[in-house]
Amino acid sequence: MTGALTCPACSATNDAELRFCTSCGTSLAQTCGVCGTVNAPTARFCGACGTPLEASSGTSRIDQAEERKVVSVLFADLAGFTERSDGTDPEDVKARLRPYFVRAREEIESLGGTLEKFIGDAVVGLFGAPTSREDDPVRAVQAAWQTARAIDELNEEDPALELAVRIAVVTGEVLVDLDSIDRGHGIATGDVMNTASRLQHEAPVGSVVVGERTYRSTAQSFEYQPLDPVSVRGKLTPIPIWRVLGPRSEQERAPLAPLIGRAREMDLLGTVWDKVRADRRTQLVTVFGPPGIGKSRLVRELQPRLEREGLYLKGRCRPYGESTGYGAFGQQVSQLAGIFETDPTNVARAKLRDRVSSLLPSSEADEVGAHLAILLGLSSEGAPDKQLLFFSVRRFVEAVAGAQPTAFVFEDIHWAEPALLELLQSLVSRLTDVPAYLITLARGDLLDTHPTWGGGLARYTAVHLEPLGDVDARELATFLLSGEASGYADRVVHAGGGNPLFLEELATSVAERTAGLVAALPTTIQAIISARLDAMPRPQRQVLQDAAVIGRIFWRGPLAALRGDEADLDGTLDELDGATSSAANRSRASPGIASSSSSTSSRARSRTARCHGARGASATLRSPHTSSVPPAIASGSPRRSSRITSARPATTRRPRPTSSWPPTSHRARGPSSRRSPCSARRSRSPNASRTATSWSRRASPGRRR
């Protein structure tokens, strides 16, 4: 075919005069990566600026659809199935495989995983692609454990199946093709895929093994047995592995340092508790904050006092595995009744009946106990009318708190089902003369989905946890670092952005290596930030990734030139930052670099290289300010992260902080790095040293006079 064009998305061949692919509908037009001009499919150079299009535009759509992600790979394979299928009719082979494939897929997808592909009698699942979650390794190991148990159940139901499975879970970085998800193709490429395939051969039959990175991320959630390191084909050194023995009860992370910078919040929670006990009135408190900011730690510090002066019950909402919608409250009831997860149903039901009978008169105990059994999943009876259910819960809470002041703690209610949120607000509004203290912990996401939460309640208090200030953050970092690592306290503070968990993880990484040269952000931080990024629409995420290439502070002008397309850029920036649209150039500042490092690392390397090339090629027209993704990505909802402010006079010049993690040595300034007038003007800009998340309306520093 003369003048044929190859589609960059599906590789189909198309006539040169066509504008869209006849196989997948992808546009064949070429967009210049420097100026954004749309050119004909056959053009070799941009008609507006003369930039070669073969490199800048020919694969841009593919690059934008590719992202680097840290994922947990579940690789399950049937042991000995090939030998047992030798000479067997194909339909019989398919009949034996079908129930295995169905159950494995159900377990993977029930925990938020993605079925990557079937390979013969192997199943590959991904956790972390296309959407990242901060607990992806835990989900992957849980899915693997449930899959192994599901195979045992299949063999019990049909002994003729004789299925035996080996499973491995490995965590690592892959390149994800987001556009392949809907086409049914494999979506991930990386060494971790091969490693998972190799390690599953080392698993005992019917068992699950995990790699080191997965083990470190899930050690608090599962019991493990260390196995001897294994040598596998293609790997130079033996790989350490652990065998999963089963899930363990939830264990809170032991604090690494004393509580710092939260005295006022502690006093507020304690004051509300005093009011509950003194007035014998129910109070609802919601502690808001992003992951790692210290919501659970705050309540944990208060727990000894609550237990000393009353009764303390706690339940956690989970993002998966909820069967009744009232899981967190059910955990509190189980705690009070002494019910364990390993108890048979009849034993658990008997414990519940005895506990309810000790709190309520016999005329109410039977009905309330039956309704609570439904909430705990101990009864197969259909759910009663919601108002009857809520009434039984209210009577139970009145009986418990009437005996002694009681604190009911609900963690992670941003994951709660609407029914539980409605129950909580119903309790606060209807309970009278009962010393019940309802403490709920949530991220800002709760207000996105339930903006009226707490509204109209007379006895409601909201506590918003902010990032630690520089003084408190430095005190925490200094406490965590010792010896040779203590010299990196300032860098840890700068990278942590005031998030206590980030500071702890970064300090631990530095301490373990003593030199402070960490190869990458700790997995915990990567997971939290990646989850925030993936919660955004792709256009917003791509803008943040492009901005992160520039640096810690960026101007709209250079960002638009780097992207090569200004369409909807202002709208996207306003959506990200909650600012009013303005035609003026804007600068953006962020206090931390952890978000920037994670955002940059999520971009395909080929596209990052082109962005750096575009940035360098147009350096004479743009001021090379540095930037970061907004700290709201790591600290909460991006729409409420900042405000419009006017530029203020600069009073002092601060040293420019390190803008990358891990910390690197400073290079001597050579002739090629001589600062331009634009750079000098940048150093005097008040925004270059500001730590507040804000936009400033200013003239472009790179505009030629």
Domains and CATH numbers, the chain: 1-58 (no CATH), 66-247 (3.30.70.1230), 263-464 (3.40.50), 470-519 (no CATH), 527-665+675-698 (no CATH)
Structural tokens at position 645: 């402010």
Spell out the residues 6+ positions from residue 286 whose beta carbon is closer than 8 angstroms to its own.
413, 440, 441, 442, 446, 453, 454, 460, 461, 462, 463
SS (H, E, C) 253-292: CCCCCCCCCCHHHHHHHHHHHHHHHHHCCCEEEEEECCCC
Residue 210 · residue 241 · CB < 8 Å: yes
Q: For position 578, what pLDDT does the model report? A: 54
pTM: 0.66
Q: Is 425 exposed, middle or buried (0-12, 13-18, 19+ CB in 10 A)?
A: buried
Please name the helix (run of DSSP H) or strand (run of DSSP E) that holds residue 438, with its range, or none.
strand 436-442
Give the span between the Cα atoms of 434 and 282, in whole angstroms.
6
Instruction: Label the pairing between strands 311-316 and 5-6.
Output: unpaired
How does DSSP assign 191-260, residue by residue?
HHHHHHHHHHTTSPTT-EEE-HHHHHHHTTTEEEEEEEEE--TT-SS-EEEEEEEEE----PPPPSS---
Please name the helix (run of DSSP H) or strand (run of DSSP E) that holds residue 645, with its range, or none.
strand 643-645
Q: For position 629, what pLDDT does the model report? A: 39
Give the span between the Cα atoms of 330 and 342, in whole angstroms.
15
Residue 604 · residue 506 · CB < 8 Å: no
Give the span between the Cα atoms of 496 and 474, in whole angstroms.
10
Q: Which sign does the torsion angle of CA 327, 331, 336, 340 carry?
A: positive
Give the span between the Cα atoms of 421 and 427, in whole angstroms.
10
Instruction: Label the pairing between strands 239-247 and 66-78.
Output: unpaired
Nearest residue to 413 (alpha-carbon basis) of 400, 423, 399: 423
Residue 371 · residue 388 · CB < 8 Å: yes
- 136 C-beta neighbours (distance < 10 Å), count: 29
Q: Is 92 exposed, middle or buried (0-12, 13-18, 19+ CB in 10 A)?
A: exposed
Instruction: Label the pairing between strands 436-442 and 66-78.
Output: unpaired
Q: How is the beta sheet containing 643-645 ordered, strand by strand?
A: 554-555, 585-588, 694-698, 643-645
Tokens 């139970």 belong to 396
Q: Is 161 exposed, middle or buried (0-12, 13-18, 19+ CB in 10 A)?
A: middle
Spell out the residues 6+ positions from residue 652 whose beta carbon is closer than 8 angstroms to its own.
none
Structural tokens at position 303: 């727990």
Q: What is the mean pLDDT of each run of 10 residues along the chain (705 residues)?
A: 61 73 72 64 75 50 65 92 80 87 91 86 88 88 94 90 92 79 63 91 93 90 92 88 87 75 95 96 95 92 96 90 83 94 90 94 91 87 82 95 96 92 93 94 91 90 94 91 78 87 82 52 67 69 73 70 68 63 37 46 52 49 39 37 31 38 40 36 34 32 36
Residue 57 · residue 34 · CB < 8 Å: no
Q: For position 481, what pLDDT does the model report? A: 85
Give the span between the Cα atoms of 389 and 365, in whole angstroms.
13
Q: For position 507, what pLDDT does the model report? A: 83
Please name the helix (run of DSSP H) or strand (run of DSSP E) that holds residue 484, with its range, or none.
none
Q: For position 180, what pLDDT does the model report? A: 58
Q: For position 504, what pLDDT does the model report? A: 85
Nearest residue to 165 (alpha-carbon basis) of 110, 196, 222, 208: 208
Give the span between the Cα atoms of 165 and 205, in whole angstroms.
6
Q: How many CA atoms lie within 13 A of 260 on its CB side?
A: 24
Spell out the residues 6+ positions from residue 368 whose beta carbon is closer than 8 angstroms to its own.
356, 360, 392, 395, 396
Q: How far is CA 534 from CA 128, 156, 545, in A?
A: 10, 40, 12
Q: How many CA atoms lie within 13 A of 338 on its CB side?
A: 7
Instruction: Label the pairing between strands 436-442 and 406-411.
Output: parallel
Q: Is 286 exposed, middle or buried (0-12, 13-18, 19+ CB in 10 A)?
A: buried
Give the span between the Cα atoms of 56 and 33, in whole angstroms.
5
Q: For position 565, what pLDDT does the model report? A: 62
First to last CA, the chain: 51
Tokens 């600062």 belong to 675
